[in-house]
Amino acid sequence: MTMYDYDFFVIGAGSGGVRASRMASTYGAKVAIAEDYRVGGTCVIRGCVPKKLFVYASEYSAHFKDSAGFGWSSEAPTFDWKTLLGNKNTEIDRLEGAYGNTLDNHGVEVIRARGKMLDQHTIELTDADGPRTVTADKILIATGAWPSFPDIPGIEHAISSNEVFEFEELPKRITVVGGGYIAVEMAGIFNGLGVETALLYRGEEILRGFDLEIRAKLRDEMVKKGIDVRIHHNVTEIKQDGEQLMLTLSDGNEMATDCVMYATGREANTKNIGLEELGVNMKPNGEIIVDEYYKSSVDNIFAVGDVTGGMQLTPIAIKEGAALTATQFNDTPTFVNYDHIPTAIFSQPPIGTVGLSEEDAREKYGDDVQVYRSEYKSMKFTLSGRDERSLIKLLVDASTDKVIGAHMIGPDSAEIIQGIAIAMKVGATKAQFDDTVAVHPSSAEEFVLMK
């Protein structure tokens, strides 16, 4: 019989927290989860899910154009933002409800309050009725991360992607700052929905860390679609100029826009929740330092997901939450294997990738790296006339014949890369890829036909 109110208390009902609380309860623990906003976290409420719905919406403008080459004609289609927003909100409400029901069905108590650690086992919970305290044996911090902005004059005029999901109406012009996942995905959405879109990136090439050829290809395709992509550009000041905003750029030029959206990374939500006072070790940027079993420097306090840094991806947070609870509540020490993590960028065209980039592969394997590449026009675009080409790359370690990297930019690449990731996870060789019968006619078959 525990001497605390709960065996396990989770702060933050996002992807990691929800999975961990549900699993711990399944293993017989008495569990509660505190959330001061909506159940579902960044992914469900203002990230992956609504983003993907917006990507679908924005792709229709190109699909309508494509259809003409297949014989279709219709009135020029029009787009209504309020319809999309309303339908998106309905779907997110439904999903939030489903998350809440799952927690209820698993016997997890959901507490709508802000949690703060008072001591190693005591959590202060604050809601509209004021603060109260509860105690717990083990505590999980799963508070995620929040958009960060550089400290430049006028930054208060900028928004993050969070606000986009609540826009009353679409701006006529938007400038996106950053060259990571969110920047390229959001730029594609705005452009597809008819917003005049610019993307400013401070470095040499967007999507640092990914395969260089894929990065260059995406920029090329984004420019072809009409996005004003400017590399080596940053904003030094933002000023209100009547109805519009005026951006001072790093090259001294000015740029007028109606809205500026920053996607310059996210920082861990670890402020003002009592962690410093408890002596929980954190990196200088506030990310919680944990061991391979997600334990912090304080014995009964754990952390998973974005709040620990690393790859800020929903499936990672979910796997970490499951591993933590199997270790702590099911007597099965479990840790996550971070090799061969596939990921997709829902840019237009989308990217799917797993394993090493060509640059990283060459650094690790030197001259042993074999590069196979296939650049082609998707069959659909032959009749549609769309000027877009796809690129697939396979990287192989010649000394073992193992596939060590797979990259694709083109339609369906997010769907295709998942299967490739399974093959790589089990150590598939190039000979085994070649031995696999092609699915014809498809884009995916390129992966088994590269010579």
Contact residues toward ligand NDP (CB under 6 A) are 150, 177-183, 185, 201-203, 208, 234, 263-266, 311-313, 343-346
- Nearer residue to ligand NDP within complex by CB, 164 or 428: 164
Task: List residues bridging with 369 in a β-sheet.
Answer: 397
Closest contact distance (angstroms) between CB of 291 and ligand NDP is 22
- Nearer residue to ligand NDP within complex by CB, 39 or 351: 351
Q: Tokens 């670890």: give the residue.
A: 270
- Nearer residue to ligand NDP within complex by CB, 265 or 286: 265
Residues 354, 294: Cα–Cα separation, whole Å? 24
For the chain, report the end-to-end CA distance as a whole number of angstroms: 64
Closest contact distance (angstroms) between CB of 409 and ligand NDP is 14
- Nearer residue to ligand NDP within complex by CB, 311 or 438: 311
**DSSP states of 354-400 as a string?**
EE--HHHHHHHHGGGEEEEEEEE--THHHHH-----EEEEEEEETTT
Residues 165, 176: Cα–Cα separation, whole Å? 15
- Nearer residue to ligand NDP within complex by CB, 308 or 328: 308
Closest among 280, 328, 287, 321 to 304, alpha carbons compared? 321
Closest contact distance (angstroms) between CB of 209 and ligand NDP is 8
Query: 58 in helix, strand or coil?
Result: helix
Q: Are 134 and 6 in contact (CB under 8 A)?
A: yes
For the chain, counts of helices (H) and of strands (E): 13, 21
Closest contact distance (angstroms) between CB of 70 and ligand NDP is 30
Closest contact distance (angstroms) between CB of 437 and ligand NDP is 31
Query: 423 in helix, strand or coil?
Result: helix
Closest contact distance (angstroms) between CB of 370 and ligand NDP is 28
Q: Are 128 and 114 in contact (CB under 8 A)?
A: no
Amino acid 411 reads P
Q: Are 13 and 41 in contact (CB under 8 A)?
A: yes
Q: Which token pair is 313?
A: 């991806």
- Nearer residue to ligand NDP within complex by CB, 139 or 174: 174
Closest among 91, 124, 121, 115 to 13, alpha carbons compared? 115
* Exposed e or buried b per residue across 295-304, where buried means at least 16 C-beta atoms within 10 angstroms of its C-beta: bbebebbbbb
Active site residue 232: no
Closest contact distance (angstroms) between CB of 16 and ligand NDP is 14
Residues 103, 410: Cα–Cα separation, whole Å? 38
Closest contact distance (angstroms) between CB of 267 and ligand NDP is 10
- Nearer residue to ligand NDP within complex by CB, 217 or 430: 217
Closest contact distance (angstroms) between CB of 403 and ligand NDP is 22
Closest residue to ligand NDP, based on beta-carbon distance: 180
H/E segment holding residue 221: helix 212-224
- Nearer residue to ligand NDP within complex by CB, 266 or 386: 266
Task: List residues bridging with 146 in a β-sheet.
Answer: 267
Q: Are 250 and 268 in contact (CB under 8 A)?
A: no
- Nearer residue to ligand NDP within complex by CB, 67 or 148: 148
Please pick, among 63, 340, 407, 440, the residue that the annotation labels catalytic: 440
Alpha helix ranges (H) inside 106-169: 161-164
Residues 31, 11: Cα–Cα separation, whole Å? 11
206: burial class by Cβ within 10 Å (0-12, 13-18, 19+)? buried
Active site amino acids: 440
